Copies of this chain bind each other. A is one copy, B any other.
Amino acid sequence: MERSDYVFTLDLQVRDYECDFQGIVNNANYQHYLEHARNSFLRTMGMDVVEMSRRKINMVVTRVELNYRHPLTSGERFWVGVNLRRFSRLRIAFHQDIFRSSDNLRILDGVVIGTAVGEHGRPIRVPEFERLLME
């Protein structure tokens, strides 16, 4: 996979505090990287998840599958690639992979299933999402 294989990519760098006692990025922090890339992508498409949350529409994750292939360590630069497709009537699948910038080594590949939920916690159709899936 190359950058051009993704509809969106984000460049980041590991911060020291993201590494744990093993000296490598803690597993949970990769989910932060993926969330940050996903929300950054959605903002470029005109969907601000924080602003939507104020209107009681929350973007929630219902399932993640992550394969950890190589660890990242302090100071390493990496990029996150994002693709998406419809997963079901109300769900989107984000295909998200992480690569080390220096050599494009694949660090992680993952699928994150998400949906929008309304005030009562039930999945709802949101126009922004529909538009996103048509493009």
Inter-subunit contact A50/B67 (CB<8 Å): no
Partner of A16, one of B21, B60, B70: B21
Known: A28-B29, A61-B68, A68-B62. A23 touches B35 (CB 8 A): no
Main secondary structure of the interface of A (DSSP, over half): mixed
Across the interface, do A50 and B74 meet the contact criterion of CB distance under 8 Å? yes
Q: How many copies altogether?
A: 4
C-beta contact mask, A45-86 vs B, less than 8 Å → 1, else 0?
Answer: 000111001000010111111111111011100000000000
Q: How many interface residues does A have (CB within 8 Å)?
A: 40
Q: Least Cβ distance of A12 to chain B in Å? A: 10
Partner of A21, one of B20, B60, B61, B68: B20
